[in-house]
Amino acid sequence: MNIINGKEIADKLKAEIASEVQALRSDKGRAPHLAAILVGNDPASETYVKSKEKSCHEVGMSSSVYRLPETTSEAELLEAIDFINKDDEIDGLIVQLPVPKHIDVNKVISAIAPEKDVDGFHPMNVGRMVLGWPTYLPATPMGILLLLQRSGIETEGKRCVVVGRSNIVGTPVSIMLSRNQAGANCTVTLCHTRTKNLDAVCRTADILIVATGKCEAITAEYVKEGAVVIDVGIHRVPDSSKKSGFALKGDVKYDEVASRCSHITPVPGGVGPMTIIGLLKNTLSAFKGEIYPHE
Ligand code: GUN
């Protein structure tokens, strides 16, 4: 059994991005710039945004965070997005999700200029992804594909089962892995809360990708001997043996699943560190005008 070291792979990719940023900086007279909007005080979102900011600086990119109060109206948020859309010195813009309930998330996502949508959530970029056109691929699915690639895992013709159909992970990764291209070309089944005999379906998987959002839901009986298991979940569970008072667990019951696998991602240190890589790659791509060429 091989443990896929996401931290190590992410660090290597960060170094590659950093050297490209350094080379490009002098060309344009400035570094790539990622802006993030954070509405409200959700602690998890605050952590994610801080970590995105830190990673930008690690690779030599600039970043700015616009912190808006929980009471921000939809119109005010749309105005902030419009303001950043028009700023030529900002290459990428993300709005950290979730936004407060009184704001229509679809309006927010559609308001981001497609050429700055480095999350790849805008319908135009999702459409391009489905068609296999050049686009900003969403960060976590891109991170998963890179993990498979960098771990030397063959995907072509393999049976892949994705558990969870969210717009951010499950749905896009199922589409990306089924494309006719290198690092994809799988036969993909997308499972969700209405799937019957989930365990039996999961046991058909050569590559099992779990993004259910349910702590340790996938146990040994869901996993075929020799499968590759990618665990997207991350949960804090109380643990008095830890100094912090909690332990981090995934959507997969690691202790009983690991011994059955050919490869498995740990939590923490598997998919988590890779999610930022996609975002950095997309920001670099926006800076270079690779998807939507600059005039
Ligand atoms: N919330 C959870 N994941 C993401 C993500 O990838 N991007 C944004 N903007 N918000 C998120």
34 lines ligand 1 (CB under 6 A): no
Per-residue confidence (pLDDT) for residue 27, from 0 to 100: 84
> Pseudo-torsion of CA 271, 45, 122, 233, nearest 10°?
30
Q: Is the pLDDT of residue 5 over 90?
A: yes
Q: Name the residue with higher pLDDT: 246 or 28.
A: 246
Q: How far is the CA of 96 from the centre of ligand 1 (A)?
A: 5
Per-residue confidence (pLDDT) for residue 26, from 0 to 100: 87
Answer for the pair 259, 227: CB distance below 8 angstroms, yes or no.
no
Could you tell me what percentage of the chain is helix, strand and coil, using 3-state DSSP and rounding each to the nearest 5? 40, 15, 40
Query: Which of these is catalytic: 91, 119, 231, 251?
Result: 119
Give tens-digit pLDDT for 128-159: 999 999 999 999 999 999 999 999 999 999 99
37 lines ligand 1 (CB under 6 A): no
Output the CA angle 276-231-144, nearest 5 degrees.
45
Top mutation candidate among 108, 119, 166 for ligand 1, by most atoms within 8 Å of CB: 119
Q: Is the pLDDT of residue 28 over 90?
A: no
Please state, in angstroms and rounded to a whole number, the distance separating the CA atoms of residues 226 and 230: 13
Instruction: Give catalytic status of residue 52 as yes or no.
Output: yes
**DSSP H helices in the chain:** 6-28, 43-58, 74-85, 105-111, 123-131, 139-150, 170-178, 198-202, 254-257, 272-288
pTM of the model: 0.96
Give tens-digit pLDDT for 31-68: 999 999 999 999 999 999 999 999 999 999 999 999 99
Residue type, 167: N
Instruction: Give catalytic status of residue 96 as yes or no.
Output: yes
Give tens-digit pLDDT for 172-194: 999 999 999 999 999 999 999 99
Top mutation candidate among 45, 46, 48, 95 for ligand 1, by most atoms within 8 Å of CB: 48
Please state, in angstroms and rounded to a whole number, the distance separating the CA atoms of residues 264 and 243: 26
Please state, in angstroms and rounded to a whole number, the distance separating the CA atoms of residues 234 and 211: 9
